[in-house]
Structures are given as structure tokens and as C-alpha cells.
A and B are shown apart, each in its own frame.
Chain A
């Protein structure tokens, strides 16, 4: 090729030199700040279903009542070029003010709240309580044959907790989906 273009990463050069054919799927956590108006969630979800993107988890709540702002946290999965498209498409929605990729924009923290119901008696019940203690889960409901545990942590921690509880009688779980923020000021 005659045209020599300078090598360099995207963030420090005008050229976009990422491998266009990279096929590895990546997991990204996106924070989408939107105008809190009717239909905005439908627009975001419609974008994902209409264009065939994945949603692993989605949380939404108003974060600034005065300013009519809500924050949608989406965990999605796709090849690098699909992730770039998702962000560009989100940015195009008129009531979307900002799109942040917490996976690439610097260190971030993720938390999820989960409620897990474990049904059992005898040894299983004792073991469940012991594991809950290790995970720092709280018992928020108890009967003679069941517990409901409340646990707060990264999605991976909640996954691990669920895996351990499954053989001990895990019967129901409710999870909020991921809330995430960038670290630091």
C-alpha cells in the first residue's frame, strides 16, 4: 500500500486502526443518561431488539428529579465493532444525553442486589446459613423450612452464591440487574 498511515491507537490518533474483523465477543457495561420522558425506555429497548443486539441486564431509575434525568445501565455483549455501533446508535436517540462505556472509559464498580429463597431442613439448612455468612448475605425472611437471603455485590459474586445454594434447595431468585459507576472523581 502506498499510503502510509501512522500507527497508533484510536484514542491517540485520528486513525481508527482496530482490527475490523475481530470476532471475539466482549461484555460491556454502558451507562446511558436520558431525559426522563414517556417512551424513552421503549426507544432504548426497541433499538436493541430491532437491530439484534444482546441485553444481559438492564436497570433504570430516575437519578435527577429536578433535571428530569434517568440513568439506564445496560450490560451488553458483542464484537468490538458491534459495541461501537451500539454506542453510536444509542447516542442518536434524541432524548439520550450521554452514553458512557464503563468497561473502556476507566475503572468502574458494579453492584447488584439479589434475593434468594432457599427451601430445606436439617443439614442443608445449616449449610445454607454457613455459606450465607461467608458471603455476608442477610437473612430477611425465615420460616421453619425456608430462608430468604439478601445479598449485595458484583454480578459474579451473586452468580457464585446462586451456584452454591442450588444443591441446598434454591427455589427462587430475584435480581435487580447491574448498577455501575466509574471510580474516582
Chain B
């Protein structure tokens, strides 16, 4: 059977063969043939965004919450350049995306044609790989390759730039099975000798800690399962980066909470004082390490990562293990069990006593108020009123993001969408829409700041059009709060440009978009407002007016080591035990 067809049809065919059910996109001259094909089929739904950046963040939310790659379709020139921030975000957070961009016809490439941009040139550093397809014969195979690259090894965004004449021309279609993807097959199994050494270290360790990251989530639900089994069986404490929340349950007994710049006191001090650090799918980002020279000075470090360039990049590790987290954890468990499930339990018990003392500091303590809503309190109430639901959380970037990470509890992977590596304000609203599209019946909440939310607020239109009942929970401090905090603590209280002046009326804005809004400022009404938001059948904006000058603690100022953490005035002064570190 000959399967000759146009390039445009081929694209739709290839997406269908790759199991794609949703494309986030925006049309334009250079992709009209593809839109024409989308119009004539019903297998793939197209979510029309309001700005291409929104499309990419939606695809990220879709991908992060499903484990499947997100797909984006944009036109040439401005369509592609608008997608750049989203692709960079996905690259830094290792989110699998396939972005299709239209390009001017091949005979116009290089002539500064209308809406021509050097898309492969511009996106080379912000994609895992990209392709310019000049020949329809190669189009289908390239798309299948692209899905393989985006999802294999360390996941990431890829882009395929497709000139318009390539979309019109005809060629033979090839399916995924006919395409040889053997030239890109990163190694998955870890070196058994090294894994055995790690198990030996685990048997002796007196002060061990698991330090886990987004790699566990990317490795799939099986990896989270194995991690739980290993942590619970060994009894070792575990902390996680912002990107790894949910891999080990927040309700689990060995959970120390998030580490890093705004991480838990006990988690950071445990990292500082441990004698064996087991890094699992985490990459020693500078928000995690603080001053590298003083990072966990007394520990032997092992690092499991699928990407060899993440190993020994920032911090020297004595025991590197290259491989997929799930595969390596499986081997670790197997070997540890076969050697008799040994740990240095006496010492580990002492270690826990020390950690419990650090915990006594109650680093998240804050002074509540009955006249003004404290942002921490708002999140505690949100947690209490939503935790039993089928819930997904997205965030924007700023103080509210850190408070959400501290005060919301994640017991499952893939439930937490946040821009960690790039810290992209404007991520959360579109990401929440992408999550909702993938999980129509779930409760999807974007914990937002007033300033971040405005960056992609046009996507409320998308939410309304596609009946995505996303809940926008805006912690409105009328400030670029995180900037204000740094200015207060580190720049002599000179508040340069960190006011959110002339904020819109979020309730009227909600109405203007055709959804519902409510403002709440009285702590006594907070629960009622949250309940209304949850129960409303449709997108909802809850404008929570919060304390304007609250600071997010604990905080490790950049360039400081973990044991020089700033604590809130409410945290208990700590005495005793610190000699250990």
C-alpha cells in the first residue's frame, strides 16, 4: 500500500502514530497547510492559545503531569521566537517537548523573507536538538526521531522547523517502526560494581541522606516506587529539590522536606552534616549548594544521573553512577537485600536524634494574624481544604512559589508543576491549563503571585474557551515580593521598582474573561472563599490580599553555606548539637 501524502498530512499522521492526543498552538502563514489538515480530522485536539509562550508552558504542564511529551505548533518568525522562553524553561527542567515550527519556503530561506527567522539558529542552545527539514521525504522519519530524542535519556525540548513548501510537497509516509532510532539510545543500566560500592557505603554510613531531584520524577512512577521502598527499608532520611517534590511522599516518615535556598533548616543541616550523600536525579544547582567550597564538607558523595554531564559538574562526587534512576534504584535494592539488608542502625538512630533536634527549631513558624491574611496561612488553608482531592498544583515564580513548596504536601509524583531551573514568571497559569487539559476532572490550582500572573494572563481566554476549570489562587502582596525581600535583606531596604503598581481589579478581570472571581482580605472569610473557588464549575480567580511585607524563611543568601541560614524571628533559637556540623 502506497502511503504517498503531503508533508502537512504526514505531520498529523506522524503525531497520531506517536500517540499524540493534544497539540497546543497558534496558526500563521507558514503553518496553514498543517492547520488545514488538523481541521479535517478528529483524533488530535488543538488548544488555541493566546500567545506562543503560553503554548509551550501548557505543553510543559501536560508533559509533567502525564509523563508523555507535550506537543506545540507555531508559525515562523514571531511564532517561533515567542516560543523561546518556554523551550529554555523545558530544557532547564528536563521536560520532553516536541515543537513544530513553520518556516518560509525553502527557496526563500536566507533572503530575509516575510516572517523569516533563523529558527534553528535561535533555538539551538535552548533545545536538546533541532532539525530543519528541507525535504518532504525526510519529514516523517525526522518527527519520529524527534519524539525519541525528546523522551530518551535526559528528556528535553526538541524543535522541527518545517518550510511551507515541504508541507505542500508529497512523499511516502513512514511509520515509527520503520525508523531506526538506534543512533540515539542513552545508557540506562548503571555499572554494577559501582552500585555495589554504594551499597557497601550505605551499610557503613553513620549519617546518610538521600538527596533526590526531578530526575526521579522523569524516570517514571516506577522510580518513585523504588525510591520509597529503599528509603523506608533503610530508614535513611530523605530530602528533595524543588523539582523532585512528590517522588517520596511528604507524609512519609523519613521526609525532611525540601532543601536549598528556601529549604527546611533540618534538611539543609542534614546535608551539611551527613557522612554519605546519595544524590538521585539531582544536579547540585547553585540554589541547592550555596557556597560550593563549604557544601557538605565531611561527606562521601554518590551521584546517580542519566546525564554524565550532570555528574561532577559543580560538586566533586567520589562515586558517580551513570544510568536511569529507576534502573539503578532497582539494582541498589536488589543488591542491598541480597547482602542481608544491613545498615549501621545504631548510628543512624543517633543521626535521627540530631535531626529531630534541628526540627525543633520549627523553621516554618510564622506569626498568624486575624486582621490580615498571612500567605503561609492561606497555603495552609488551601492544603487543608484540597489535600484529599485529585489535586494538581502549578505555581508562578517568587515568594508564593517557595511558600507553596514549603506548605503544600505532595504525596505523589507528577502533581507539582513549577519552573525550577529557569524561574520563569508567567509559567504557572498556562501550565495549569495544560495540566487541566490532560486531566479534565482533576482539581488544578495555580498558586500565583500578582506580578507573575500578569505575565501570561491572556491565557485565561484559553481556559475559558476550552472549559478548563483552572483555579488561580493569587497571593496578592502588591509587590514583586521576592525582589522586595532581597532588597530589604541585601540592598539596604531600597525598594527599587519592586512595587506592583496599578494592578488590575482581578475580579473584574475574571468577569471580563467570562469566568468568575472573588477577592478576599479577611482571614475569617478565607475558607469560604477557597471553598467557593473549588466548587465553582469553571475557571476561577481568587485574589487573596495578603500581608505585603512577609519574608520567606528559611533563607540561605546566595554564596553562603548551608549552616549560615537566615531564620524567621519566630523560629526557635537553636542551641546544642550544632557542634556536629
Q: How far is the CA of A1 from the CA of B317 in the complex (A)?
A: 15
Chain A residues closer than 8 Å to B309, beta-carbon distance: 85, 88-89, 91-92
Q: For the complex, give the distance between the alpha carbons of A39 and B319 in Å.
A: 35
Inter-chain residue pair count (beta carbon < 8 A): 72
Which of A43, A81, A94 makes the CB contact (< 8 A) with B184? Answer: A94
List the B side residues contacting A14 at CB < 8 Å: 191, 193-194, 197, 319
Complex contact B125–A16 (CB within 8 A): no
The residues in A between 1 and 19 inclusive whose CB is less than 8 angstroms from any CB of B are: 1-5, 14-18
Are A88 and B191 closer than 8 Å at their CB atoms?
Answer: no
Complex: A43 Cα to B309 Cα, angstroms:
16
Is B349 an interface residue when CB atoms closer than 8 A count as contact?
Answer: no
Q: Are A42 and B276 in contact (CB under 8 A)?
A: no
Write out, one digit per residue, whether chain B residues 312-323 have a CB within 8 A of any chain A CB (1) or not (0). Answer: 110011111000
Given A3-B204, A5-B300, A91-B309: A35 in contact with B318 (beta carbons within 8 A): no
Kindly state whether residue A122 has any CB partner on chain B within 8 Å.
no
Partner of B300, one of A3, A20, A35, A50: A3
Which of B125, B183, B204, B318 is close to A50, meaning CB atoms less than 8 Å apart? B125
Residue B121 at the A interface, CB < 8 A?
yes
Q: Shortest Cβ distance from A84 into chain B, in angstroms?
A: 6
| Contact partners of B337 in chain A: CB under 8 A | none
Please state if A92 and B204 are interface contacts (CB–CB under 8 Å): no
Q: Report Cα–Cα, A15/B318, bound state, in Å.
A: 5
Chain A residue numbers with a CB within 8 Å of B217 are none
CA distance A84 to B309 in the complex (A): 8
Interchain CB contact under 8 A, B120 and A39: yes
Chain B residues contacting A17 (CB-CB under 8 Å) are 318
Residue of A with least CB distance to B319: A15
Q: Quick one: which of A155-183 are within 8 Å of B by CB?
A: none
The answer to whether A85 and B275 touch across the interface, beta carbons within 8 angstroms, is no
CB-defined contacts of B298 to chain A, threshold 8 Å: 1
Are A88 and B308 in contact, with the CB atoms below 8 A?
Answer: yes
Which one, B120, B121, B312, B313, contacts A16 given CB within 8 A? B312
- Contacting B316 at CB < 8 Å: which of A20, A35, A43, A50? A20
| Cβ of A52 under 8 Å from chain B | no
Nearest-CB distance from A43 to chain B (Å)? 6
Report the separation of the CA atoms of residues A5 and B196 in the bound assembly, to the nearest whole angstrom: 13
> 1/0 contact trace for B174-210 toward A, CB 8 Å?
0000000001100000010110010001001110000
User: Min CB distance, A68 to chain B, in Å?
Assistant: 10
Q: Is B253 on the interface with A (CB-CB < 8 A)?
A: no
Residue of A1, A50, A92, A93 near B275 (CB, 8 A) is A1
Q: Which residues of B contact A93 (CB under 8 A)?
A: 129
Binding site for B on A (CB under 8 A): 1-5, 14-18, 20, 35, 38-39, 42-43, 46, 50, 81, 84-85, 88-89, 91-95, 97
Q: Which 9 A-B pairs have the closest CB atoms?
A: A20-B316, A88-B309, A14-B194, A94-B129, A88-B308, A14-B197, A3-B300, A89-B309, A15-B318
User: Besides the contacts A16-B312, A94-B149, what 4 more A-B pairs have beta carbons closer than 8 Å?
Assistant: A3-B205, A14-B194, A14-B319, A88-B309
Pairs across A and B, CB under 8 Å, 12 listed: A3-B205, A5-B319, A14-B319, A16-B318, A20-B312, A39-B132, A85-B312, A88-B309, A88-B311, A91-B308, A91-B309, A94-B128
